[in-house]
């Protein structure tokens, strides 16, 4: 498969990656552009790379078309595109959009190079071992569900040829029991490093769609980075106003409540989730909380600080608080946290996100510590 | 895998059958070779614009990327590819069913006949397979020597100037070309810096010497005194083949000159196909339709054929389909010359009943279309044979952008307007007409280009980027006179920044 087109293709991908890197900031702040495609694959729509030429400007040009319709009717969007039959493809003027596939690795490496992110040292990587079964070898016994058809066929073909039973004109291959080959597992001891990300978000009335969009974008890139750093990550979502509940990802970004705000409710639920499902010795734990900084009372803030100090921070690799600026939020909570923790507190990161353009910097603040 | 292979016996028999029909109808073609490919191979070939070996360049990779996706998602499928060479190569796709292969073969014989007989193709290199392979080898050598980035960047710059060539060069006979080259040499002789060296040295060495002489000084220090023999204005006449001009006169290194030569040669090779798209596809479709329906089709295949044929002929409101307009226009010409619906008498006839049933039983249709396919290109084809009745039957219209509704809307169904718009889109193979009028502009060895404005502005962003690429080659400021937003302006790139003077 080593056709020269492969190296042309690699050059092309290198150029595209370069473009993405150059425009990462604009790209990230535009938000929802990355389309996940299957496992660890993403499709990114990019403006096509067109070689500049002297050409006519688009709008004033117009043209000639065929079909029915009155004067003044639009010519686009009737959706009836023909199968086409490109005889010499590539000669038509370039397509407007490129869709480029990136793997998780590629995106993560672009992110890390651009933001100069350090690798995370997973805690407990030395003590947590796990036995993993991988179906990497082939055996002669096994259940039918694991039968390896290709290898069975080959074996059978080999046997028939060597026995002189193979007839090229009537190439029927009949495997016998002895030809059967099965996928077999090999046990390996692997270092296990799993991570859980717990997102908490204030969904009270003051958090608007724009704010949620920012949180969504941040969480996408944070997930991406953690996925790249850990073998497996689990993600849990908590929304809160005066009370907190755990929800699915979909709901998380869509819910809008009108009640007041008690941040402690979320922290309590977060604590409970950790206690119940994620033993500290086995898991790397990342709680993130996003709000616009309003809390019901300073009493509740005290409870929050208490929860953080005694129950959440001690078990977390890192706790992230992101304050999204909104027209209604006072931003008080950031100040309170800032007063309680200074730069020296190792595993808490506070970040203010003013608008979309600040997303990338905020991501850097969260992930830049290598925690 | 990744290699085309000869077609099987069954298909060979089919080829003999189809070729028999082609002979019967009087098609005149190069020896035809069919090869079979899987979809990946055909994607690669299509990405490389038809040739198995090209010089390394990222855009082939990009085209491959898009084509593979198009295939995977079922958006586009390439049934066939045919290459203008002698013998003529065509690639069939393995997964095509039997009717498709028949249709494609018949279609290919149409293209083959067109390649061989159309006058605009007369001077194309029919050994292009080898030529392309040589180009590949040369560029690879330069990459080894100068590094991929440097070479690829230079190729990018020249590709950007690829459409700055002159359609009329296609028509040159060897005699005219030699004569022109003689004049050029004479011209260069009189004006070149190293005219003493000229006589004894070969062309290549000349290029080398010239580049050495010119690059000896730092480019920014170059002033007109460094070109003492430049006549007051070069060139004498405005030049459309700007690539050739740069190749001859720009202060470039030998390998760079060679790359310009390579890309220019390939551009001229593809040019006839660009200026005969409607005719070429129309002609091939005319013949696949005729051969299939009159000879090759089995009754059981009719539905499949009709389905495929209709897919190819589908009309679009956004652009004309060259297959559709081409085939219909050839059929229309055939009909008109069969019945005598042309000429003064017919045109001046005002009785619509007579006009409709007009038939002088000339039976000259077939002769006429063969002659048309020999002598015309898309422009003259449309100019001479498009009729109001035809536009009407084909439901053609013009559309334009409506700034108020932000969309393109149907403008008119007026014959003159349609014809004019079509011709305009075909003029100069759809590219703006740009000429180099002065290479010593303002007496400072700057380049002055003019854009012949036909009512449509240039895309300013692209124009500016292209000017930067000319600067890269010429190494002195580049000026472009055009009309932009109803004002006469001169764009200028001085190596650092862009400016506009009105």
Q: What is this model's ipTM?
A: 0.83
Whether residue B395 is contained in a domain is answered as yes
Determine the Cα–Cα distance for residues B371 and B362; give it in Å rounded to an integer: 16
Q: How far is B493 from chain A (nearest CA, A)?
A: 15
Determine the Cα–Cα distance for residues B317 and B395; give it in Å rounded to an integer: 10
Please tell me whether residues B461 and B370 are part of one structural domain: no
**Could you list the residue range(s) of the whole structural domain that residue B490 is in?**
428-501
Check: CATH 3.40.50.2300 for A194-367?
A: no
In this structure, are residues B324 and A66 in contact, taking their beta carbons and an 8 Å threshold?
yes
Please tell me whether residues B385 and B447 are part of one structural domain: no
Whether residue B320 is contained in a domain is answered as yes
Q: Does residue A70 register a pLDDT over 90?
A: no
Please tell me whether residues B419 and B340 are part of one structural domain: yes
Please tell me whether residues B15 and B112 are part of one structural domain: yes
Q: Does residue A204 register a pLDDT over 50?
A: yes
Alpha-helical runs (H) found in A123-208: 149-162
Maximum average pLDDT range among A53-62, A276-285, B1-10, B377-386? B377-386
Q: Which two tokens stand for residue B190?
A: 């009189």
Please report which confidence band the pLDDT of residue A62 belongs to, taking 50, 70 and 90 as the band edges: confident
E strand segments, B307-455:
396-402, 407-412, 433-441, 446-452
The least confident of A319-323, A360-364, B93-97, B196-200 is: B196-200
Chain B residues near residue A17 by CB distance under 8 angstroms:
none
Please report which confidence band the pLDDT of residue B197 belongs to, taking 50, 70 and 90 as the band edges: very low
Closest residue of chain A to B429, computed from CA coordinates: A55
Alpha-helical runs (H) found in B6-82: 9-24, 39-47, 58-72
Whether residue B153 is contained in a domain is answered as no
Nearest CA to B229 among B199, B197, B188, B192? B192
Alpha-helical runs (H) found in B118-236: 128-146, 148-159, 174-191, 195-198, 203-215
Please report which confidence band the pLDDT of residue A60 belongs to, taking 50, 70 and 90 as the band edges: low
Task: Please list, in sequence order, all residues whose beta carbon lies within 8 angstroms of the beta carbon of residue B311, skipping any fewer than 6 positions away.
Answer: A82, A83, A85
Whether residue B202 is contained in a domain is answered as no
E strand segments, chain A:
35-36, 41-47, 63-66, 97-103, 129-139, 182-191, 194-202, 232-240, 244-247, 283-291, 319-324, 348-353
Which candidate from B59, B64, B160 shows the least CB-CB separation from A53?
Answer: B160
Maximum average pLDDT range among A326-340, B36-50, B75-89? B36-50
- What is the pLDDT, as a whole number, of residue A138? 87
Please tell me whether residues B11 and B25 are part of one structural domain: yes
Which candidate from B61, B274, B311 shows the least CB-CB separation from A10?
Answer: B61
Please tell me whether residues B455 and B423 are part of one structural domain: no
CA B493 to chain CA mean position, Å:
29
Q: Which residue has the higher pLDDT, A189 or A324?
A: A324
Chain A residues near residue B273 by CB distance under 8 angstroms:
88, 91
Condensed to tens digits (0 to 9), the pLDDT of residues B314-352 reads 998 888 999 999 999 999 999 999 999 988 888 888 888
Whether residue B219 is contained in a domain is answered as no
Cα first-last separation, chain B: 59
In this structure, are residues B330 and B283 in contact, taking their beta carbons and an 8 Å threshold?
yes
Determine the Cα–Cα distance for residues B65 and A11; give it in Å rounded to an integer: 12
Domain span(s) for CATH 3.40.50.410 in chain A: 194-367
Please tell me whether residues B9 and B65 are part of one structural domain: yes
Determine the Cα–Cα distance for residues A14 and A323; give it in Å rounded to an integer: 36
- What is the pLDDT, as a whole number, of residue A172? 86
Whether residue B340 is contained in a domain is answered as yes
**Contact criterion met (CB < 8 Å) for A64 and B397:** yes
Please report which confidence band the pLDDT of residue B493 belongs to, taking 50, 70 and 90 as the band edges: very high
Q: Does residue A83 register a pLDDT over 50?
A: no
Closest residue of chain B to A68, computed from CA coordinates: B395
- A68 — contact with chain B (CB < 8 Å)? yes
Q: Does residue B186 register a pLDDT over 60?
A: no
Q: How far is A19 from chain B (nearest CA, A)?
A: 14
In this structure, are residues B470 and B478 in contact, taking their beta carbons and an 8 Å threshold?
yes
Please tell me whether residues B438 and B409 are part of one structural domain: no
Q: How far is B72 from chain A (nearest CA, A)?
A: 13
**Contact criterion met (CB < 8 Å) for B456 and A52:** no
Please tell me whether residues B108 and B50 are part of one structural domain: yes
Closest residue of chain B to A3, computed from CA coordinates: B2
Closest residue of chain B to A69, computed from CA coordinates: B410
Domain count, chain B: 3
In this structure, are residues A285 and A316 in contact, taking their beta carbons and an 8 Å threshold?
yes
- What is the pLDDT, as a whole number, of residue B183? 59
Q: Is B307 exposed, middle or buried (0-12, 13-18, 19+ CB in 10 A)?
A: exposed
In this structure, are residues B398 and A64 in contact, taking their beta carbons and an 8 Å threshold?
yes
Please report which confidence band the pLDDT of residue A192 belongs to, taking 50, 70 and 90 as the band edges: low
């Amino acid at each position: 498969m080593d056709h020269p087109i492969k190296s042309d293709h690699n050059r092309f991908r290198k150029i595209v990656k370069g473009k993405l890197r150059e425009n990462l900031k604009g790209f990230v702040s535009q938000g929802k552009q990355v389309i996940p495609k299957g496992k660890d694959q993403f499709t990114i729509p990019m403006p096509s790379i067109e070689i500049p030429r002297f050409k006519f400007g688009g709008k004033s040009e117009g043209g000639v078309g065929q079909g029915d319709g009155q004067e003044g009717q639009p010519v686009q969007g009737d959706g009836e595109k023909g199968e086409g039959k490109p005889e010499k493809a590539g000669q038509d003027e370039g397509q407007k959009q490129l869709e480029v596939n990136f793997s998780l690795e590629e995106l993560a490496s672009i992110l890390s190079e651009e933001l100069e992110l350090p690798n995370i040292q997973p805690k407990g990587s030395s003590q947590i071992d796990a036995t993993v079964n991988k179906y990497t070898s082939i055996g002669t016994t096994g259940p039918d569900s694991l039968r390896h058809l290709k290898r069975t066929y080959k074996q059978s073909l080999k046997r028939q040829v060597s026995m002189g039973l193979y007839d090229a004109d009537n190439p029927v291959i009949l495997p016998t029991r002895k030809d059967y080959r099965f996928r077999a597992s090999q046990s390996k001891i692997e270092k296990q490093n799993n991570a859980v990300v717990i997102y908490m978000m204030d969904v009270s009335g003051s958090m608007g769609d724009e704010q949620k969009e920012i949180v969504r974008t941040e969480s996408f890139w944070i997930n991406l980075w953690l996925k790249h750093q850990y073998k497996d990550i689990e993600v849990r979502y908590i929304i809160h106003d005066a009370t907190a509940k755990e929800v699915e990802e979909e709901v998380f970004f869509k819910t809008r409540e009108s009640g007041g705000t008690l941040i402690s409710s979320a922290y309590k639920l977060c604590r409970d989730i950790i206690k119940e499902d994620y033993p500290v010795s086995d898991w790397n734990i990342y709680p993130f909380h996003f709000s616009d900084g309003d809390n019901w009372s300073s009493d509740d803030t005290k409870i929050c600080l208490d929860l953080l100090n005694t129950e959440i921070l001690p078990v977390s690799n890192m706790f992230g608080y992101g304050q999204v600026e909104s027209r209604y939020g006072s931003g008080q909570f950031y100040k309170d946290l800032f007063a309680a923790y200074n730069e020296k507190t190792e595993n808490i990161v506070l970040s203010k996100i003013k608008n979309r353009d600040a997303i990338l910097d905020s991501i850097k603040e969260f992930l830049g510590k290598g925690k | 895998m990744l290699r085309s292979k000869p077609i099987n016996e069954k298909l060979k028999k089919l080829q003999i059958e189809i070729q028999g029909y082609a002979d019967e109808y009087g098609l005149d073609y190069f020896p035809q070779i069919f090869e079979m490919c899987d979809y990946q191979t055909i994607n690669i070939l299509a990405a490389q614009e038809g040739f198995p070996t090209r010089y390394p360049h990222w855009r082939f990779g990009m085209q491959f990327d898009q084509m593979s996706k198009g295939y995977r998602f079922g958006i586009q499928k390439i049934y066939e590819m045919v290459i203008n060479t002698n013998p003529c190569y065509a690639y069939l796709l393995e997964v095509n069913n039997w009717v498709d292969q028949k249709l494609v073969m018949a279609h290919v014989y149409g293209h083959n006949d067109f390649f061989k007989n159309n006058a605009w193709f007369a001077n194309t290199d029919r050994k292009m397979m080898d030529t392309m392979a040589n180009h590949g080898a040369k560029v690879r050598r330069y990459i080894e020597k100068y590094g991929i980035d440097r070479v690829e960047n230079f190729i990018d710059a020249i590709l950007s100037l690829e459409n700055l060539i002159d359609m009329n060069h296609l028509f040159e006979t060897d005699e005219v070309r030699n004569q022109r080259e003689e004049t050029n040499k004479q011209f260069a002789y009189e004006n070149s810096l190293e005219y003493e060296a000229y006589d004894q040295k070969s062309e290549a060495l000349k290029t080398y010497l010239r580049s050495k002489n010119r690059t000896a000084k730092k480019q920014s220090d170059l002033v007109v005194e460094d070109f003492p023999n430049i006549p007051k204005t070069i060139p004498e006449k405005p030049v459309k083949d700007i690539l050739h001009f740069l190749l001859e006169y720009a202060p470039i290194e030998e390998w760079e000159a060679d790359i310009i030569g390579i890309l220019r040669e390939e551009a001229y090779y593809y040019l006839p196909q660009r200026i005969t798209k409607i005719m070429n596809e129309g002609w091939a479709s005319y013949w696949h339709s005729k051969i299939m329906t009159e000879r090759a089709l089995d009754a059981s295949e009719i539905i499949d054929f009709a389905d495929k044929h209709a897919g190819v002929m589908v009309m679009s409101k956004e652009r004309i389909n060259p297959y559709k307009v081409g085939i219909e226009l050839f059929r229309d010409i055939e009909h008109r010359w069969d019945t005598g619906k042309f000429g003064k008498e017919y045109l001046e006839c005002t009785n619509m009943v007579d006009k409709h049933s007009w038939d002088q039983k000339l039976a000259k249709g077939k002769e006429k279309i063969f002659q048309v396919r020999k002598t015309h290109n898309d422009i003259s084809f449309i100019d001479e044979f498009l009729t109001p009745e035809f536009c009407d039957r084909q439901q053609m219209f013009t559309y334009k952008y409506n700034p108020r509704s932000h969309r393109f809307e149907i403008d008119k169904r007026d014959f003159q307007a349609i014809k004019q718009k079509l011709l305009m889109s075909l003029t100069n193979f759809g590219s703006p007409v740009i000429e180099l009028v002065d290479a010593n502009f303002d007496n400072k060895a700057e380049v002055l280009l003019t854009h012949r404005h036909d009512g449509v502005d240039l895309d300013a962003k692209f124009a500016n980027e292209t000017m930067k690429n000319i600067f890269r080659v010429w190494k002195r400021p580049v000026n472009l006179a055009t009309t932009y937003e109803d004002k006469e302006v001169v764009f200028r790139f001085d190596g650092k920044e862009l400016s506009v003077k009105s």
